[in-house]
Structure 1
Amino acid sequence: MAAGDGWEAPCAGAAVPEGTSRIALTAAATELLRLLRDQHGPLMFHQSGGCCDGSAPMCYPAGEFRTGASDVLLGRLSVAGVPEPVGFWMAADQFARWRHTHLTVDVVPGRGSGFSLEAPEGVRFLIRSRLLTEEERDRLGD
């Protein structure tokens, strides 16, 4: 895939050591991603950190949202039943504020963003966060 399609290597300083994770999925998010993958093909997430809809993770067909130097790849999520990983990107300024947290993508009932693929399903993705443990911070070099 071409540059900016959501499948590039992570930005400098964002690489995650083997066995360490900045991002995870709940069972509900995993199930929804399988459904969305069946409907739309390969997927990606982006979280801008802006107001309103921008503060929620947005799910797009892979490559539909163009990432660039102002985005950080937090991870490539393995989803059971989905053949390729789902990249999770975050705006660099948002990552600077959240770099000491572990994020979990979840799903709740409600209206999602009009641009995010889950909107017609009557649910929306959201982020649950916790502080990284000291061990996790050490492994990540934070």
Structure 2
Amino acid sequence: MTSIDKVTATKEALQLIERLKVKHGELLFHQSGGCCDGSSPMCYPKSEFFIGDVDVLLGYIGNCPFYMTEAQYEYWKHTQLIIDVVKGRGGMFSLEGPEGLRFLTRSRVFTEEEQRNLK
């Protein structure tokens, strides 16, 4: 079996990422942990977000790194995150807001075989 990604994105999310790259340059994602923006995947210019010692790199979507905190990862480590796009207003600091769209995290639990083959 091939290795399994911890984070993936739908075709619609990848298209939005490409549009945002044209406007903002290199991007990164950080899964919000709650607070002001709920638990949304937040999209930032790569140069304007500092990754901390407690952030875990889950993988890449649209060639953009995707992070979350270690503590949050402990809850999500058995799931694959699937980043999608829906109409509406997302996190107030995330770049997709002015597009009238928001990124949304969907998830599914890995099978035992998939867990053995995680990247």
In structure 1, the gaps of 5 or more residues are 1-17, 80-84
Higher relative contact order (CA 8 A, sep 6+): 2
In the other structure, the counterpart of 2:103 is 125
In the other structure, the counterpart of 1:97 is 75
Q: Secondary structure at the match of 2:117?
A: helix
* Contact 1:101–1:130 under 8 Å retained in 2: yes
Considering fraction of residues, name the structure with more strand: 2
Q: Secondary structure at the match of 1:93?
A: helix
Structure 1 stretches (4+) deviating beyond 6 angstroms?
none
Query: Which amino acid in the other structure matches residue 137 of structure 1?
Result: Q
Aligned length in residues: 118
Q: Distance in 2 between matches of 1:36 and 1:46?
A: 15
* Contact 2:33–2:72 under 8 Å retained in 1: yes
Normalised to the residue count of structure 2, the TM-score between the two structures is 0.92
Q: Secondary structure at the match of 1:136?
A: helix
Query: Which amino acid in the other structure matches residue 84 of structure 2?
Result: D
Q: Secondary structure at the match of 1:140?
A: coil
Q: Distance in 2 between matches of 1:105 and 1:29?
A: 7
CA shift digits 1:105-129 (9 cap, x unpaired): 0000111122100000111101000
Output the aligned Cα RMSD. 1.6
Deviation of 1:52 after TM superposition, in Å, equals: 4.5
Deviation of 1:140 after TM superposition, in Å, equals: 3.0
In the other structure, the counterpart of 2:86 is 108
Q: Distance in 2 between matches of 1:94 and 1:48?
A: 9
